[in-house]
Amino acid sequence: MLAFRLIRAPCAFLIEVITMGNITESYETSAKIFPNKIAIHTNRQQINYQKWSELVNQTANWLHSLDSENKTIGILLPNGIPFLQLFAGASKAGWIAVPYDLKWKTTELEKRVKLSNPSIIVTTREIYDRIKQIIPNVTSLDDSLREISRFEVNIIRYTQENLPFYIGFTSGTTGNPKAFIRSQDSWVASFDCNRIDFEINESEHVFIPGALIHSHFLYGAISTLYLGGTVYLLDKFSPIEGHSWIQSYPITTMYVVPTMIEAFLKQGVQINKFIKILSSGAKWSESSKMEIYRIFPNITMYEFYGASELSFITVLSDRDGMQKAASVGKPCYGVEVQIRLQDQCLAKHKEIGKIYIRSRLVIDGYLDHAGKDVHSIRDEEGWATVHDIGYFDEDGYLYIIGREQNMILYGGINIFPEEIEKVISLHPDVEEVAVIGLPDSYWGQVVAAVVKGKGSPLELKRLCKKYLSSYKIPRKWLFLSEMPYTTSGKIARAELIKQMESKVTSDE
């Protein structure tokens, strides 16, 4: 059931949507209407909607049989049908799915497992053998699939609507992981953005070239399956293989982050197919857009601004992209946006303030460190913020000025300086350190470290490798005898960025 009403105000936009359901509720209908239509296509396998619906039902029935009070499954797997099967099956069973990143160090994984407290974690045999003595409740994918295959292909027990179904991770100002939880209804409501903002329907052939651990690509796959389209899923991103798939298969839509398009640009091969591109992550420059249109002359491009906690916020179509190149677009369907000044008054056009969001797409909240209580990020009137700063122009387009908490956006991945600073500070010869993001044409931003002390880049890089994922290790280093400070005594990060750009030591 769907109903809506539209309200517009100078600096606040609202489309209220009423919709309820489960993110898997359409699978059985799709299996009846077009049972032989391909649901998911990978390098090694194709699966039609009849089989997909049966697999999800079997997975849900298997999870029901475990009779767990916690009802949470961890997924530590590479891209593939099993990843999506476990995620969707958990949703149908009324369980919560927690994707874990294969790139995390064991210590990073331990922290996130402790926060999310899964009843079971499914992983590959190789990883299982490596972590079974360290991480609790781990089982191998092969064993899990063997058990799942024994269950009925029809669903035995249906779950309630709008239960929590997804735990993701972000970081606070301390750099420690924070677990957020999302409900069914938040994603079901966001599927309307696909239909209305991105003009996507059941006829789409959607290319997912990125890792499903990232919500952008996981959402792309799950929303396509909900709408009845076909998902084309790469095992791992490769611009050469990606180009081959685009040319070889009837792909109509592609989810990307800017680094992927940059990789396609480096191939220098023109792609003349009519294709829709949905881009999340770093903002495109006007020159980059011109290059994109050169190699994809027949694309329709949608850039959208969002956050893990808030989901879709604004969208910028290619119809507006060139005239409003610096903007992140207008509010998405069902999303209300406000700009507030420091006194909490609403900003006028061109006035800079903090961005607040109100929609049914927002997370339920953050889990506490015990993994039991959920702390909402909404205020009493339902507004939430991730502390981004921006303004509206006179035509209602949103512009982002900066990220209040110094977050670094590296190829569509959020990196928090505090986590890296904490590791570098472990070196006995480091007196003080500040980690900042430097503009980069390929990655959007790269991680850079400014150090007061005597440690060498090689020593500090080795230290970082011990505790951090590879993408968090600083790419550039600068050593100073004294740090610049603001009048309040804090490190002057803007000054450091200027110094890094004029005098930098690269470890590459």
Question: Measured between alpha carbons, how far is residue 326 from residues 105, 317, 320, 391, 458 in Å?
Answer: 37, 12, 11, 12, 38
Q: Is 165 helix (H, G, I), strand (E, B) or coil?
A: strand
At 108, give phi and psi (nearest 5°): -65, -40
* 12, 345 contact by CB (below 8 A): no
At residue 473, the pLDDT reads 95
DSSP state of 491: B
Helices 81-93, 49-66: axis angle to 10 degrees equals 60
Q: Residue 500 is part of a domain; what is its CATH number?
A: 3.30.300.30
At residue 160, the pLDDT reads 66
Indicate whether 313 belongs to any domain. no
Burial bucket for residue 481 (CB in 10 Å: 0-12, 13-18, 19+): exposed
* 50, 28 contact by CB (below 8 A): no
At residue 149, the pLDDT reads 97
* 76, 102 contact by CB (below 8 A): yes
DSSP state of 37: S
Listed in sequence order, the residues at least 6 apart from 488 whose beta carbon sits closer than 8 Å to its beta carbon are none
Question: Measured between alpha carbons, how far is residue 498 from residues 145, 409, 443, 492 in Å?
Answer: 54, 18, 19, 10
At residue 419, the pLDDT reads 80
Amino acid at site 382: G
* CA within 13 Å, CB half, 411: 15
Which residue has 């922290």 as its token pair?
111
Indicate whether 502 belongs to any domain. yes
Question: Measured between alpha carbons, how far is residue 153 from residues 25, 415, 437 in Å?
Answer: 15, 42, 50
Indicate whether 483 belongs to any domain. yes
- Domain range spanning residue 488? 408-506
Closest-CA residue to 392 (of 451, 455, 326, 436): 326
- Terminal Cα-to-Cα distance of the chain (whole angstroms): 55
At 112, give phi and psi (nearest 5°): -75, -30
At residue 76, the pLDDT reads 98
Indicate whether 78 belongs to any domain. no
Indicate whether 489 belongs to any domain. yes
Q: How far apart are CA 96 and CA 167, in angstroms?
A: 7
Helices 49-66, 141-148: axis angle to 10 degrees equals 100
What does the block give as tokens for 471? Answer: 């993408």
At 139, give phi and psi (nearest 5°): -140, 160
At residue 9, the pLDDT reads 38
* 96, 72 contact by CB (below 8 A): yes
Q: How far apart are CA 436 and CA 178, in angstroms?
A: 21
What does the block give as tokens for 251? Answer: 């792909």
Give the chain's domain count.
1
DSSP state of 352: -
Rounded to a whole number of angstroms, the CA Rg of the chain reads: 23
pLDDT tens over the chain, length 508 residues: 333 333 333 334 333 333 447 899 999 999 999 999 999 999 999 999 999 999 999 999 999 999 888 899 999 999 999 999 999 999 999 999 999 999 998 988 998 999 999 999 999 999 999 999 999 999 999 999 999 999 999 987 656 667 889 999 886 544 567 899 999 999 999 999 999 999 999 999 999 999 999 999 999 999 999 999 999 999 999 999 999 999 999 999 999 987 788 788 888 778 889 999 998 866 666 667 778 888 888 989 998 999 889 999 999 987 776 778 778 899 999 999 999 998 999 999 999 889 999 999 999 999 887 667 889 999 999 999 998 888 999 999 999 876 666 778 888 887 878 788 889 988 989 988 999 999 888 898 999 999 999 888 999 999 999 999 999 999 999 999 888 876 445 688 888 888 888 765 444 4
At residue 283, the pLDDT reads 65
Listed in sequence order, the residues at least 6 apart from 212 whose beta carbon sits closer than 8 Å to its beta carbon are 79, 83, 84, 87, 99, 218, 221, 233
Closest-CA residue to 117 (of 371, 363, 369, 365): 371
At residue 342, the pLDDT reads 85
